[in-house]
Amino acid sequence: MINRGFFTVLLLLLAVSTSNGQAFEEAKYGGDFLSVGGGARPLGMGSAYTAVTSDVLSGYWNPAGLSGVTNWQFAYMHSERFAGVVGYDYGAVAMPIEGSGGVVALSFIRQGVDGIKNTLHAWDPEQNRPRSDPTSYMREFSASDMALFLSYANNLTGNWHWGVSAKVIHSRLGPFANAWGYSLDAGLQHRGERYLFGINLVDLTTLMKFWTVDQNELAALQNFINPETGKPETLPEGTNEYVKPSLRIGAGRFFDFGDFSLLAAFDTHMRFEGRRTYYLNAGDISFEPSIGAELGYKDLVFIRAGVTDVHLDDRNNMYVSPTLGTGLKIGAFMVDYGFSSFAGIASDLGFTHRISLQLTL
């Protein structure tokens, strides 16, 4: 029944994507807020997690990894980015389905900037100056992106596993504009005793996004756009956007040293949008590689390190951003911490701290 339901969702998404006759514009970075990911463990490992993931975080990283969940699992993470300006929250729950071998999961992401001042009505257009009490005309609003993932995974054959994630996207620019979008991810994973392999086709059906603009809320802009002529300008209208599919490929290996264990992983995120500036690329295909490792002691204490954000400057000099992390397992709880953006190009925008908590029942 679950399998049939997910294939029905896939067919519906494909049908809507191909039958919609409206014009769409490509949004090259339209889904970038989803590249932040979920969980402090992946961040500490440089986001090299496509082949490694086998817990509740898999709904985002690779839905096939959910097949490794044998009990109810919950996860929550809060992150501050760009010196605390951008808040990022991630939550997920996974539940095995008795008798079927399948696992379902629900994941939620919100990234936003809150407390932005709306000063459009604090200006007096007739006097061409601020109002006598401008703060009383100001209102605060948020600019946010949210995503909801509904995922399912099961065993394919032997050590091979498959999974899919249907996701709904919602973006909001305060009272001025909002957008809804949808797409579907599909993943495959091989988990052996020593070697791991994973592949996740992100936005398999192409991420379709539909914007709506409230022109009444933007009407005051006509007083500022062209004050010399006094002629009102055309206000922005809602548009339809699409984000091309992308591909995550990863591999990993376990090493056992008695009480100690070592997990090494490599990922690359391949995009087909023609990202050339500061990216490793081959024509329209860009590559975002990541390398990570995790050293564990008695499956209780973990130390992690990784490399991500590989970029080239205008002189083809390469820059990378290292990541660090640690983890502690206390009974049914797993507490993880990740630290990044303290070196490389991303360091100019401030450090990133990430703390996540995971519970297994």
- Residues whose CB is less than 8 angstroms from the CB of residue 270 and which lie 6 or more positions away in sequence, other chains included: 246, 247, 248, 249, 285, 286, 287, 288
Q: 119: left (phi > 0), else alpha (psi -120 to 50), else beta?
A: alpha
pLDDT confidence of residue 197: 97
Confidence band for 185, pLDDT divided at 50, 70 and 90? very high
Is pLDDT at 337 greater than 90 in this prediction?
yes
Is pLDDT at 344 greater than 70 in this prediction?
no
Which has the minimum average pLDDT: 125-134, 209-218, 333-342?
Answer: 125-134
C-alpha–C-alpha distance, residues 134 and 143, integer Å: 22
The DSSP letter of residue 351 is -
pLDDT confidence of residue 211: 87
Confidence band for 176, pLDDT divided at 50, 70 and 90? confident
Share of the chain above pLDDT 70, in %: 79
pLDDT confidence of residue 5: 43
Is pLDDT at 327 greater than 90 in this prediction?
yes
Ordered DSSP codes for 53-119: --STTHHHH-GGGGGG--S-EEEEEEEEETTTTEEEEEEEEEEE-TTT--EEEEEEEEEEEEEEEE-
CA distances from 40 to 113, 122, 199, 316, 354 (A): 21, 42, 21, 31, 5
- Position with higher pLDDT, 242 vs 19: 242
Supply 34's token pair.
Answer: 């989803």
Which has the minimum average pLDDT: 186-200, 204-218, 287-301, 343-357?
Answer: 343-357
C-alpha–C-alpha distance, residues 321 and 309, integer Å: 5
Is pLDDT at 347 greater than 70 in this prediction?
no
Tens of pLDDT, residues 105-157: 999 999 988 877 777 666 666 666 677 777 776 777 788 899 999 999 999 98
Residue 90: which of 77, 79, 99 has the closest Cα? 77
pLDDT confidence of residue 6: 43
What is the rounded average pLDDT for all residues in the chain? 83
Domain ranges of the chain: 2-360
What is the topology classification, in CATH, of domain 2-360?
Answer: Porin (2.40.160)
pLDDT confidence of residue 212: 86
pLDDT confidence of residue 133: 74
Tens of pLDDT, residues 282-293: 888 888 899 999
Is pLDDT at 91 greater than 70 in this prediction?
yes
Cα 57 off chain centre by: 12
C-alpha–C-alpha distance, residues 130 and 145, integer Å: 32
Confidence band for 104, pLDDT divided at 50, 70 and 90? very high
Q: Strands 240-243 and 25-26, how do they pair?
A: parallel
pTM of the complete model: 0.81
Share of the chain above pLDDT 90, in %: 47
Task: Calculate mean pLDDT across residues 67-96.
Answer: 88
Tens of pLDDT, residues 234-255: 666 767 888 899 999 999 999 9
Contact 184, 149 (CB under 8 A): no
Is pLDDT at 304 greater than 50 in this prediction?
yes
Is pLDDT at 184 greater than 90 in this prediction?
yes
Task: Calculate mean pLDDT across residues 301-323.
Answer: 84
Residue the block writes with tokens 């000099």: 317
